[in-house]
């Protein structure tokens, strides 16, 4: 067996050393003859006789050489190399054809590799954790509503972790981005640092090993422990220049020292899995006793025991959670857990979009194949004689088809090479951009799987578009072509029918793409038209930092002073502070009308924003009744609240809530002073529920975002406001004003990404269809030159001829459009869940796309039609 492999390897290698081996054999054979002649001479032969006898004994030298070659090498490879040499010669001769085909193939294959890489990363590849299929995500409240609804309190997490039987580990982190912000001092300029609060077993559950140092010890996660931190690899590189000595040292966070116990590996990208588009710099231990009374602040994830299925774990939780609630009457809600694999949680929502994208790019590849088939057929027509000659010289039909396939495969391989380069560029861009908020995007790359996929599609494509010319050739009487000048009527007609069929399918496929892209585009425009509830233009936000000792009154004084000075700056129209911005972060408390009765299990949650006077103006949130907060409200004993229109309609139906009392959960009632427009909270596509605004002096904010309304650009605004803030608080970290519009842009970026890609593919499909139509019509005009000449000689006008060609074009296009429209209806229904306020059978989209396709078809048919109408009958008839 080994010997056999060794021999195969040698045979394969010797193919590449042909000249050297041949030379050696020649030398050896020459020596052989010399020996023989010498011996013959010794036996007394004459020199001539000695030479003759030596040659007789040796047998045919050429035969011996051929045997030797066959024995040492692979004949298949020899033929292939012949075909390839021939291919490269013919393609060099027809450079324009080769370039266009390779370019088209590179676009088609490159787009496929890039999309495959994205699909592979987001959908197919497991998450970047060992045995990641065991990782399970718990969604509270059936995954519906704001973050506060789907999270858990400390008690339920601890109790579930203690009593469950299904999981090796149950762990948690605090998912409210921005709620653990620190001001890091002592290392250059003060820095805003985003921390993630994680449980002691968080990294153990994910099976993440630190790159340096160690992970948290259980003793570091209890009340009173010395503060510790773990750093992400990126933060360590940027802030500490990858200094390994940092482990064991302490850094200063909010004026308190914390010991660095380790650095996480670069492969661990927390935001790309859990917080797409956001940032995490350090990890700190979640001290459960500190956050026990904070309400729902934790997400739960677990690692299943080997052999335990998700369904078993779900069944256990369905029984266990109500039991735990019964034992803990102090929990203010019934907890449920909808379990999914972590992978599903991360990319499940994107599955449909990604599959649509994948199909779209597959359609492009199909169109590319059809187009190249068409080009090859056109070429075949002009190569009839060449094949006839080769056939006459002894090449079998099989050998000719093999030659054709070699050519198409060589083209597709060249296209694939270029396409891989293209895909590398695209995936590099995707992995390093910051404006598309999709999970795992930072780890998108062309990997081994993608390259294997490339190889597969390259071969399939090469065979697919090489097969049509092969079929024509195999059915043709090759010899006939030698006599005929390529005008053979039946032959030409068969050719024409095949090419027409290809163009019709090309038009149909591109209509499907166009309609799909059109529907998605229309949905996207509808989303951009959504009433946001605030005015993002000319508003910018920046995180600010102050020390209020958690005292509401002190906070009021500080914020009032900051706002007074900021508003006094030139060019600032309004300014206000909120703890969270719309489309960014959210949390919910309760809201109810105390003089109304509610059903027992009615969902009374409302999104809460803790704001200063002026925030509504700065954000451009429209007041529909009542008034904004004022700093005088802070002095009154009675609390105040502003609610949104949905909340007003829901809790005070038919009445004005202004001046009435509203109750949050377990607090003194507040007086409703204003009603504002609904503000989109988590996405543009879901309408918000109840919302309320509380005054910053009366409730604890979760962070603070300074929002200013100004026509100044951010790079003017930032230094101006920053110097004011630094004057008030020297420890104010350097931050940059970001336009509020970026919140909107980030929120719609996944959809923009999909729409953009599908539209690009549709455009590509349209261009290819136009090329195909042009090729077919142009060829048929060339073939019918004589016929047209005769008709013109008999009195047909140029206009007649032009119309004739154009109507032929339109017939082809309409046939394709008819078939494509039927397919488009089916496809539109299939993607209807991705549409937003757009009917799958949207007449406008269908109409526009069909019109576009007809227009493009006419344009593509016009040039050959004009050429036909310009034919000089005399020249045409004299020709040939």
Partner 1 sequence: MSESKLDLLQGTLDLMVLQTLAALGPLHGYGIARRIEQVSGNAVLLNQGTIYASLVRLQQRGWISAEWGTSSNNRKAKFYSLTKKGRKQLSEDTAYWQRLSGVMGRVLSMQDEGETK
Which residues, 6 or more positions from 358, have their beta carbon under 8 angstroms from its beta carbon?
A: 115, 116, 119
* Identified binder of partner 1 from the candidate list 20, 23, 46, 63, rule CB under 8 A: 63
- Of the candidate spans 23-31, 77-85, 218-226, 456-464, the one that interacts with partner 1 by CB under 8 A turns out to be 23-31
Question: Quick one: tokens of 744?
Answer: 């909107």
Could you tell me the smallest distance in angstroms from the CB atom of residue 3 to partner 1? 5
Question: Quick one: tokens of 839?
Answer: 């009917």
Binding status of residue 1 toward partner 1 by CB under 8 A: no
Nearest residue (CB) to partner 1, 68 versus 671: 68
Could you tell me the smallest distance in angstroms from the CB atom of residue 394 to partner 1? 22
Question: Exposure pattern of 200-231 as b/e (b: 16+ CB <10 Å)?
Answer: bbbbbbbebebbbbebbeeebbeeeeeebbbb
Residue 238: which of 176, 180, 184 has the closest Cα? 184
Could you tell me the smallest distance in angstroms from the CB atom of residue 24 to partner 1? 8
Can you tell me the distance from the alpha carbon of 491 to that of 483, in angstroms, rounded to the nearest whole number? 13
CA angle, 677 then 678 then 682, to 5°: 150
Binding status of residue 7 toward partner 1 by CB under 8 A: yes
Nearest residue (CB) to partner 1, 56 versus 245: 56
Question: Quick one: tokens of 698?
Answer: 């009366």
Could you tell me the smallest distance in angstroms from the CB atom of residue 12 to partner 1? 10
Strand 250-253 and strand 181-185: the pairing is antiparallel
Could you tell me the smallest distance in angstroms from the CB atom of residue 811 to partner 1? 56
Binding status of residue 53 toward partner 1 by CB under 8 A: no
Could you tell me the smallest distance in angstroms from the CB atom of residue 28 to partner 1? 5
Question: Which three-class secondary structure state does DSSP give residue 119?
Answer: helix
Can you tell me the distance from the alpha carbon of 447 to that of 279, in angstroms, rounded to the nearest whole number? 26
Q: Is 172 within 8 Å of 298 (Cβ atoms)?
A: yes
Question: Is the C-alpha dihedral spanning 755, 760, 765, 767 positive or negative?
Answer: positive
* Identified binder of partner 1 from the candidate list 16, 20, 22, 34, rule CB under 8 A: 34
> Total residues at the site for partner 1 (CB under 8 A)?
31
Could you tell me the smallest distance in angstroms from the CB atom of residue 16 to partner 1? 14
Binding status of residue 68 toward partner 1 by CB under 8 A: yes
Binding status of residue 29 toward partner 1 by CB under 8 A: yes
Binding status of residue 880 toward partner 1 by CB under 8 A: no
Binding status of residue 18 toward partner 1 by CB under 8 A: no
Binding status of residue 352 toward partner 1 by CB under 8 A: no
Nearest residue (CB) to partner 1, 32 versus 325: 32
Could you tell me the smallest distance in angstroms from the CB atom of residue 357 to partner 1? 50
Look-up: residue for tokens 């590179």? 106
* Identified binder of partner 1 from the candidate list 20, 23, 43, 57, rule CB under 8 A: 57
The 8-class DSSP code of residue 541 comes to E
Can you tell me the distance from the alpha carbon of 108 to that of 761, in angstroms, rounded to the nearest whole number? 9
Binding status of residue 671 toward partner 1 by CB under 8 A: no
* Identified binder of partner 1 from the candidate list 25, 74, 278, 835, rule CB under 8 A: 25
Binders of partner 1 among 150-209, rule CB under 8 A?
none
Question: Quick one: tokens of 470?
Answer: 């092969």
Residue 138: which of 384, 401, 338 has the closest Cα? 338
Could you tell me the smallest distance in angstroms from the CB atom of residue 10 to partner 1? 4
- Of the candidate spans 53-61, 586-594, 639-647, 667-675, the one that interacts with partner 1 by CB under 8 A turns out to be 53-61
> What residue ranges in 242-281 does DSSP mark as E strands?
250-253, 256-263
Nearest residue (CB) to partner 1, 59 versus 348: 59
Binders of partner 1 among 474-533, rule CB under 8 A?
none
Residue 779: which of 447, 433, 382, 473 has the closest Cα? 382
Can you tell me the distance from the alpha carbon of 159 to that of 324, in angstroms, rounded to the nearest whole number? 7
- Of the candidate spans 8-16, 605-613, 730-738, 775-783, the one that interacts with partner 1 by CB under 8 A turns out to be 8-16
Nearest residue (CB) to partner 1, 74 versus 810: 74
Binding status of residue 854 toward partner 1 by CB under 8 A: no
Residue 831: which of 531, 529, 522, 525 has the closest Cα? 522
Q: Where are the alpha helices (DSSP H) in 642-740?
A: 645-651, 714-728
CA angle, 701 then 704 then 707, to 5°: 130
- Of the candidate spans 7-15, 279-287, 464-472, 698-706, the one that interacts with partner 1 by CB under 8 A turns out to be 7-15
Could you tell me the smallest distance in angstroms from the CB atom of residue 778 to partner 1? 52
* Identified binder of partner 1 from the candidate list 17, 23, 47, 60, rule CB under 8 A: 60
Residue 506: which of 862, 756, 764 has the closest Cα? 764
- Of the candidate spans 51-59, 212-220, 474-482, 855-863, the one that interacts with partner 1 by CB under 8 A turns out to be 51-59
Binding status of residue 218 toward partner 1 by CB under 8 A: no
- DSSP conformation letters of 326-347: HH-TTSSS----EEEEHHHHHH
Binders of partner 1 among 69-108, rule CB under 8 A?
70-72
Can you tell me the distance from the alpha carbon of 641 to that of 621, in angstroms, rounded to the nearest whole number? 15
Residue 335: which of 355, 352, 320, 354 has the closest Cα? 320
Look-up: residue for tokens 């059109």? 518
Binding status of residue 36 toward partner 1 by CB under 8 A: yes
Question: Exposure pattern of 408-436 as b/e (b: 16+ CB <10 Å)?
Answer: bbbbbbbbbbbbbebbbebbeebbeeeeb
Q: Phi and psi for 707 in degrees, rounded to 5?
A: -110, 130
Could you tell me the smallest distance in angstroms from the CB atom of residue 23 to partner 1? 12
* Identified binder of partner 1 from the candidate list 31, 327, 635, 665, rule CB under 8 A: 31
* Identified binder of partner 1 from the candidate list 16, 20, 23, 35, rule CB under 8 A: 35
* Identified binder of partner 1 from the candidate list 17, 43, 46, 67, rule CB under 8 A: 67
In the chain the first and final C-alpha atoms are separated, in Å, by 64
Question: Quick one: tokens of 503?
Answer: 């163009």
* Identified binder of partner 1 from the candidate list 22, 28, 290, 561, rule CB under 8 A: 28
Nearest residue (CB) to partner 1, 9 versus 822: 9
Binding status of residue 61 toward partner 1 by CB under 8 A: yes
* Identified binder of partner 1 from the candidate list 38, 131, 293, 529, rule CB under 8 A: 38
Could you tell me the smallest distance in angstroms from the CB atom of residue 396 to partner 1? 20
Q: Is 345 within 8 Å of 137 (Cβ atoms)?
A: yes
Q: Is 278 within 8 Å of 288 (Cβ atoms)?
A: no
Distance of CA 264 to the CA centre of its chain: 26
Nearest residue (CB) to partner 1, 44 versus 448: 44
Binding status of residue 6 toward partner 1 by CB under 8 A: yes
Q: State the virtual CA torsion across 828, 834, 837, 842 in degrees, nearest 10.
A: -10
* Identified binder of partner 1 from the candidate list 3, 48, 330, 601, rule CB under 8 A: 3
Nearest residue (CB) to partner 1, 29 versus 79: 29
- DSSP conformation letters of 579-616: SS-TTT---EEE-B-TTS---TT---EEEEEEE-TTHH
Could you tell me the smallest distance in angstroms from the CB atom of residue 55 to partner 1? 10
* Identified binder of partner 1 from the candidate list 17, 22, 23, 59, rule CB under 8 A: 59
Could you tell me the smallest distance in angstroms from the CB atom of residue 7 to partner 1? 5
- Of the candidate spans 52-60, 174-182, 445-453, 771-779, the one that interacts with partner 1 by CB under 8 A turns out to be 52-60
Can you tell me the distance from the alpha carbon of 331 to that of 337, in angstroms, rounded to the nearest whole number? 15
Binding status of residue 23 toward partner 1 by CB under 8 A: no
Nearest residue (CB) to partner 1, 72 versus 671: 72
Catalog residues that contact partner 1 under the rule CB under 8 A: 3-4, 6-7, 10-11, 14, 24-25, 27-29, 31-32, 34-36, 38-39, 57-61, 63-64, 67-68, 70-72
């Amino acid at each position: 067996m080994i010997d056999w492999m060794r021999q195969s390897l040698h045979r394969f290698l010797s193919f590449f050393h042909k000249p050297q081996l041949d030379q050696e054999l020649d030398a050896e054979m020459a020596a052989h003859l010399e020996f023989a002649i010498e011996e013959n001479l010794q036996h007394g032969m004459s020199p001539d006789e000695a030479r003759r006898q030596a040659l007789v004994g040796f047998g045919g030298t050429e035969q011996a050489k051929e045997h030797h070659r066959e024995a040492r090498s692979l004949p298949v490879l020899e033929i292939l190399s012949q075909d390839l040499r021939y291919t490269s010669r013919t393609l060099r001769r027809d450079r324009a054809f080769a370039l266009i085909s390779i370019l088209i193939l590179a676009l088609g294959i490159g787009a496929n590799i890039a999309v495959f890489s994205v699909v592979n990363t987001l959908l197919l590849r497991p998450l970047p954790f060992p045995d990641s299929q065991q990782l399970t995500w718990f969604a509270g409240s059936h995954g519906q509503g704001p973050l506060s609804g789907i999270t858990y309190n400390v008690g339920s997490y601890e109790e579930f972790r203690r009593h469950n039987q299904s999981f090796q580990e149950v762990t948690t982190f605090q998912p409210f981005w921005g709620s653990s912000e620190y001001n890091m001092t002592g290392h250059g300029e003060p820095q805003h640092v985003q921390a993630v609060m994680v449980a002691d077993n968080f990294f153990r559950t994910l099976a993440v090993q630190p790159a340096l140092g160690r992970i948290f010890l259980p003793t570091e996660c209890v009340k009173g422990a010395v503060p510790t931190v773990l750093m992400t690899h990126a933060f360590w590189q940027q802030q500490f220049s990858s200094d390994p000595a940092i482990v064991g040292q302490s850094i200063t966070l909010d004026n308190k020292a914390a010991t660095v116990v380790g650095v996480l590996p670069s492969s661990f990208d927390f935001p790309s899995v859990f917080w797409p588009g956001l940032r995490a710099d350090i990890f700190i231990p979640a001290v459960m006793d500190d956050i026990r009374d904070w309400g729902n602040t934790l997400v739960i994830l677990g690692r299943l025991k080997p052999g335990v299925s998700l369904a078993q774990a779900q069944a256990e939780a369905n029984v266990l959670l109500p039991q735990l609630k019964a034992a803990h009457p102090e929990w203010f809600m019934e907890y449920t857990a909808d379990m999914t694999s972590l992978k599903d949680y991360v990319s499940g929502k994107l599955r449909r979009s990604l599959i649509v994208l994948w199909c779209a790019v597959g359609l492009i590849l199909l169109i590319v194949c059809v187009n190249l088939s068409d080009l090859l057929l056109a070429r075949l027509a002009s190569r009839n004689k060449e094949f006839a000659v080769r056939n006459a010289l002894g090449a079998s039909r099989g050998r000719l088809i093999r030659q054709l396939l070699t050519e198409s495969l060589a083209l597709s391989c060249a296209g694939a090479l270029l396409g891989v380069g293209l895909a590398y560029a695209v995936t590099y861009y995707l992995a390093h951009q910051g404006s598309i908020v999709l999970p795992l995007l930072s780890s998108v790359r062309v990997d081994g799987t993608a390259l294997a996929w490339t190889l597969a599609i390259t071969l399939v494509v090469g065979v697919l578009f090489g097969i049509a010319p092969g079929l024509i050739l195999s059915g043709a009487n090759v010899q006939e072509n030698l006599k005929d000048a390529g005008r053979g009527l039946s032959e030409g007609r068969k050719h024409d029918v095949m090419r027409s069929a290809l163009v019709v399918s090309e038009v149909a496929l591109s209509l499907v793409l166009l309609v799909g892209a059109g529907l998605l585009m229309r949905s996207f425009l509808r989303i951009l038209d959504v009433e946001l509830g605030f005015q993002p233009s000319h508003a910018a936000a920046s995180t600010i930092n102050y020390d209020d000792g958690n005292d509401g009154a002190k906070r009021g004084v500080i914020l009032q002073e900051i706002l007074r000075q900021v508003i006094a700056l030139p060019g600032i129209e309004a300014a206000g502070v909120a703890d969270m911005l719309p489309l960014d972060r959210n949390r919910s408390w309760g809201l109810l009308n105390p003089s109304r009765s509610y059903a027992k299990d009615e969902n009374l949650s409302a999104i809460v924003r803790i704001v200063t006077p002026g925030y509504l103006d700065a954000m451009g949130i429209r007041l529909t009744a009542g008034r904004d907060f004022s700093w005088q409200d802070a002095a009154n004993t009675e609390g105040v609240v502003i609610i949104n229109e949905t909340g007003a309609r829901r809790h005070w139906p038919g009445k004005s809530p202004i001046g009435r009392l509203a109750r949050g959960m377990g607090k003194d009632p507040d007086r409703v002073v204003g009603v504002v427009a609904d503000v989109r909270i988590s996405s543009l596509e879901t309408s918000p529920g109840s919302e309320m605004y509380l005054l910053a002096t009366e409730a604890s904010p979760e962070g603070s975002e300074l929002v200013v309304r100004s026509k100044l650009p951010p790079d003017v605004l930032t230094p101006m406001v920053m110097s004011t803030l630094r004057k008030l608080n020297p420890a104010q970290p350097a931050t940059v004003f970001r336009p509020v519009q970026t919140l909107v842009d980030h929120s719609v970026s996944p959809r923009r990404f999909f729409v953009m890609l599908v539209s690009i593919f549709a455009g590509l499909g349209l261009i290819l269809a136009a090329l195909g139509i042009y090729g077919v019509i142009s060829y048929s005009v060339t073939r019918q030159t004589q016929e047209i000449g005769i008709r013109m000689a008999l009195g047909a006008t140029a206009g007649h001829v032009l119309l004739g060609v154009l109507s032929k074009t339109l017939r082809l296009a309409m046939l394709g459009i008819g078939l494509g429209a039927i397919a488009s209806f089916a496809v539109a229904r299939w993607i209807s869940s991705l549409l937003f306020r757009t009917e799958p059978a949207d007449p406008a989209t269908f109409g526009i796309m069909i019109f576009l396709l007809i227009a493009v078809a006419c344009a593509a048919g016009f040039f050959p039609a004009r050429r036909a109408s310009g034919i000089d009958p005399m020249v045409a008839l004299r020709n040939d």
